[in-house]
Chains A and B, each alone.
Chain A
């Protein structure tokens, strides 16, 4: 078996074996479904609760995507502003770090109260943005600084304006860094959205995280697992999409083609 086929075939094979083993173990040892439901029950829950779960997935996905896009634009913009003004960077960067290192779970109740329970989705968006924002900011800042000094001299020699420097030199140089940051940030946006919903957890938010809590409280394990499966799928989807974009933008020129 050659390497490519091993990489394509082995992961689904392992997954299939795992599910089979799980199904067999549950029935062989008579494990009650409120402890561990068999995969078939999870599949059934996915099918039966599809309308409810899909609606919740949509809510979580919307918040995640919005938070990610917000993190991307605000992170890159702030990094660009930092690049234009050292003073601004010196003044604000520490606070960005503070925002990053303070556990989101600790800020969440405060944000929910401030934004208001009646606008809980906005609170979730703010929280997910806080979590997703920093990798973009720090990577973009590093990327904007990683300009080939000779290229910078070349631009200076030809009298490039600040705008030309930024648009034609610094941003393209930073692109691999920005995309790497975006990849981390995409996953964090989802985590942020879920954590925020857990903390907000009043039942006003009805994303996938709430379905997990709700199903847990009711000992409806198949549905809990079904919600988890969907959360994983969302995460995989985001990661795959960002990897694809990264490859598309970098493959022709960046060593490693954006891996």
Chain B
């Protein structure tokens, strides 16, 4: 499949002179699962925000090779970012409401999305009544309710406990395989990036740029057996070495 978008020499310098990104080059093909892996503060979240159009780059460009309209990009934040005053179903329906989709149709689609993330029974609950993992599922359902072409995820599971995180990794992968969106996933976990991605871009420390790119030659669908396989360990080791090299530290 062809590229969905290309970043070329993408740079961002803040008004105070801080250079957040310096010449990011990256192409993402349709249907890929690409992880941006790097240390905290390297600017990987900034790349997501630029792709989402929430910020403007100060240099270089972002080129879309497929038309993207409103609702073609979904965003999952580090926090669940749900409206605390609204029920889960209303939260998930929000992108459709904002686009003027009739409420009845919106409710059907939101309910459908909630079922896919295993929250079918919690439509009427308020966010405060759900656990952290459930809130993140709702956030995922909201990002997918518009059937986006591209899903941007900004360390979405970093604040969750290990068991919940592994479960959500698997759920995200099944959603990705079922719905065939393109995913750009920001993480600082080597293991998570290898398990999820078809390709990993390692971002060096600030000012951020792509220090290395590598494909993950593990077949999909992936499950627990992948995590315990020898290939997985070897790839993690290699990614880890390259990450350390990018950070200027000997592994």
Residues on A lying within 8 angstroms of B by beta carbon are 148, 150-151, 153-160, 164, 168-169, 172, 175, 252-255
Contacts and interface: CB of A to CB of B under 8 A. Distances in A.
B77 A150 contact: yes
B53 interface: yes
Could you say which of A153, A169, A254 has the most chain B C-beta atoms within 10 Å of its C-beta?
A153
Contact of B54 (A148, A153, A175): A153
Contacts of A164: 98
Main secondary structure of the interface of B (DSSP, over half): loop
Contacts of A172: 83, 85-86
B70 A159 contact: yes
A247 to B, nearest CB: 14
Nearest to A250: B85
Contacts of B99: 158-159
A160 B54 contact: no
Question: What 8 A-B pairs come out closest when comparing CB atoms?
Answer: A150-B81, A158-B98, A253-B84, A159-B70, A172-B85, A150-B77, A158-B95, A253-B85
Given A158-B71, A164-B98, A175 B53 contact: no
Contact of A157 (B75, B84, B86): B75
B128 interface: yes
B94 interface: yes
B231 interface: no
Given A157-B75, A168-B97, A151 B83 contact: yes
Interface of B: 49, 52-54, 70-71, 73, 75, 77, 79, 81, 83-86, 94-95, 97-99, 126-128, 146
Contacts of B97: 168
Given A153-B54, A252-B126, A255-B128, A158 B70 contact: yes
A159 B127 contact: no
B83 A153 contact: no
B98 A254 contact: no
A169 to B, nearest CB: 8
Contacts of A150: 77, 79, 81
Nearest to B84: A253
A253 B81 contact: no
Contacts of A253: 84-85, 126-128
Nearest to A169: B83
A254 B75 contact: no
